[in-house]
Chain A
């Protein structure tokens, strides 16, 4: 670079720096904790709206949830919180600070389809009624509507941040919203079948993740 060019660049950026300093105002730091609170509030809101309309499982209403409900609730909650935490942390970027712990929770949630497959391979007949279960539409409808509310709130919060990998943020936002939205539905889901959870819960989470990947990045561009 010539000396003349350097002088021109220096002059241009010096006047820019003057104007940026003149424009300085105190800012409130974007805290990850606030992002998590936003996600928690949206999840609670989805529950508060859907539970009175569609009802809760009797065992959940009696505060004595069955084993399958505890297991799938735990898997969905862990996956949702881990994915939400990973994407919230990415709103304050830093080379070398990417969090990938959420992958383990996805692996844990995959135990449901793996168990379903193992049972079938072991000779247990697959309950084909699951494909035509009338509750499947409700499962997808409630899960994805809740996911939409949670994902919208999370995306709105992320827009204040500095997401440098928007595609990854899209996947994670969709995954978090899908897992938490399906968690909300699972509290009212009458089925206790592991095959049902593997198929319909899995489908709801996958659809939400794909929608997140398609929709969220364009809303996060700087």
Chain B
């Protein structure tokens, strides 16, 4: 059974004190959660790298977690930061079919929706979100994205630049 957020907070608190068993539980849970979080938001081959990078960040920044606060929003902020960082590094690969569904379907679905990557993308204009999705997530060239969207090539570039800037400025926004 998947632990609730209160349990995760307690486990992370123990992990900060050096409890290896609690830490393994935190990382196992985080790995599963991150795989669902990134699914469909980056190409599948890149998702594995991103999960691993994010777990490294969780490890390096574990002292910044406050056990009196919920665990998931902390993990999600780090995950979003890593995702935007990946997009900004001009990450491009051939993509497979995108899975538009979010894997979570339990009582935490509402919380998950608030902290999801889609919530960030919804803050962008339609043109910005489309340009980022096609070029940075699906791996199309600027010219291909231009042909697909009807935007000029320079507009696609401007939309990507402005969109990424806006994403980076809204990592902690609901």
Contacts and interface: CB of A to CB of B under 8 A. Distances in A.
Interface of A: 1, 5, 8-9, 12-13, 16-17, 20-21, 23-30, 90-98, 160-162, 164-168, 222
A91 B52 contact: no
A165 B168 contact: yes
A94 B55 contact: no
Contact of A165 (B17, B66, B96, B172): B172
Contacts of A161: 61, 64
A28 B44 CA distance: 36
A27 B60 CA distance: 10
Given A1-B44, A93-B171, A97-B69, A9 B35 contact: yes
A100 B55 CA distance: 29
B20 A12 contact: no
Contacts of A13: 31, 48, 51-52, 55
Nearest to A93: B77
Nearest to B15: A24
A24 B63 contact: no
B48 A95 contact: no
B80 interface: yes
B152 interface: no
Interface string B24-63: 1001100100010001000010011001100111011111
A20 B44 contact: no
Interface string B103-133: 0000000000011000000000000000000
B61 A162 contact: yes
25 contacts: A5-B48, A9-B51, A13-B31, A13-B52, A13-B55, A17-B28, A20-B27, A21-B24, A25-B18, A29-B64, A92-B69, A93-B77, A93-B78, A93-B81, A94-B74, A94-B172, A95-B80, A95-B172, A96-B73, A98-B172, A161-B61, A164-B80, A165-B168, A165-B172, A222-B85
Given A94-B69, A97-B172, A162-B57, 9 more contacts: A9-B51, A13-B55, A16-B52, A17-B28, A26-B16, A92-B74, A164-B172, A168-B169, A222-B81
Contacts of B4: none
B147 to A, nearest CB: 28
A8 B45 CA distance: 11
A95 B18 contact: no
Nearest to A18: B24
